[in-house]
Structure 1
Amino acid sequence: MASTLLELTAGIVSSHAAMSELSTEELVQEIQKVYTTLQQLEGGAPEAAQAEETKAPVISLKKAFQADQVVCMICGKGGMKTLTRHLAQVHDMKPREYRKQFNIPSSQALTARKFSEARKKMAQERGLADNLAKARAVRATKIQEKKGAPAEKPAKPKGAPRKKKA
């Protein structure tokens, strides 16, 4: 069965390496990780394999967040512009949990820098910031008008006697 595990490991790692760039060190780590996981699955301990998977990231924080793409630190999938949908669909995880698991600061966007910059530029060109400021001003004036308007029915003070029914 050992040769079958080696063949499976080689197939899995070669497929993964074809989809994302891996350094020599990362490739060796990936081979070890996949082989160990397959051994554990064969032995009937999938919980242990899953617990090990959640501990260590597949890729470093610096390599995960690049200018033109984002790579998932759990599975190593790359080529994405944003991680939120991938985390929800594939890993059933929220961005807050992902940040906590890998100690990612809240100042780090879970998107590619070029993608964020392009969205920001598009929003500025369309004047979305000005529209937002106008909408906030309108909302603030409506709230002030409600506060300044008299109440329809004055509130009864606590402990006031009630009218008795006849």
Structure 2
Amino acid sequence: MATLVEIAAQIVASHASSTPMTSDQLIFEISKVHSALKNLEAGEPVEGVEEPKASMTVKEAFKKGEVVCMLCGKGGFKTLARHLNTAHGMKPGEYKKQFGIPGKQPLAAKNYSEARRKMALDRGLADNLAKARGVRMANIEAKKAVPAKAAKPAKAAKAAKPAKVTKVAKAPKESAKAKVA
């Protein structure tokens, strides 16, 4: 079985593969993970394990040109949903709940949302959506208006089918060369 130091090194190595770290940071992380594993093995509470608190306000995190992750502090995102899923294994609803972000607040930069909205309007997607909703509502209303189907009448006996007519094979035509000869 692997020792606690080996397990801690594996944990930090997997973390370091996705996050660039200096050698001092690696050593500090290994000692921190090792002590946490040691405390867990002894049944003691792990120190420093708290729910992460926002180091910035919602207003600071959602800028006009970018979105900054309030969990790890990384910025430069146009939208935050993919980062939350891949880096933190978190759904947008959980993230909003954890940091008290209003439900209607999009997890996207304001410029990005405006550009997407403008592009949709230029392509006429709003008109297409309105037409599709109208057709859908008409179909729903039509289904409501149709009374329940009456019982089907019993099937009549099948009429005798007429015999199939087969084609008579024609004799092959003589080619023009054969006539001349």
Residue 44 of structure 1, CA deviation:
2.4
Higher relative contact order, chain-length normalized (CA < 8 Å, sep 6+): 1
Q: Does structure 2 retain, via aligned residues, the 8 Å contact 1:69–1:81? A: yes
Does 2:136 match 1:139? yes
Number of aligned positions between the proteins: 123
Residue 35 of structure 1, CA deviation:
10
Tell me which amino acid in the other structure corresponds to 2:71.
I
- Structure 2 alignment gaps of length 5 or more: 1-15, 41-45, 152-181
> TM-score by structure 1 length?
0.64
Question: Higher Cα Rg: structure 1 or 2?
Answer: 2
Q: 2:33 aligns with which of 35, 41, 64?
A: 41
Aligned residue for 1:117, secondary structure, equals helix
Does 2:149 match 1:152? yes
Quick one: percent identity of the two aligned structures? 47
1:2-151 alignment runs, 5 A limit: 40-45=32-37, 48=46, 51-52=49-50, 54-151=51-148
Q: Does structure 1 retain, via aligned residues, the 8 Å contact 2:52–2:71? A: no
Cα separation, partners in 2 of 1:104 and 1:130, compared to 1, 3 Å = same
Q: Does structure 2 retain, via aligned residues, the 8 Å contact 1:81–1:115? A: yes
Cα separation, partners in 2 of 1:132 and 1:93, compared to 1, 3 Å = same
| Equivalent-residue separation in structure 2 for 1:126 and 1:150 (angstroms) | 40
Cα separation, partners in 2 of 1:58 and 1:41, compared to 1, 3 Å = farther
- Structure 1 alignment gaps of length 5 or more: 1-11, 17-33, 155-166
Aligned residue for 1:55, secondary structure, equals coil
| Equivalent-residue separation in structure 2 for 1:38 and 1:49 (angstroms) | 15
| Equivalent-residue separation in structure 2 for 1:63 and 1:83 (angstroms) | 14
- Which 4+ stretches in 1 moved above 3 angstroms? 34-40, 45-51
Cα separation, partners in 2 of 1:82 and 1:35, compared to 1, 3 Å = farther
The structure with the largest helix share of the pair is 1
> TM-score by structure 2 length?
0.59
Tell me which amino acid in the other structure corresponds to 1:43.
S
Cα separation, partners in 2 of 1:50 and 1:144, compared to 1, 3 Å = farther
For residues 71-101 of structure 1, give each alpha carbon's deviation from its aligned partner in whole angstroms, at most 9, with x where no partner exists: 1111111111000111111111111100010
Tell me which amino acid in the other structure corresponds to 1:102.
F
Cα separation, partners in 2 of 1:151 and 1:133, compared to 1, 3 Å = same
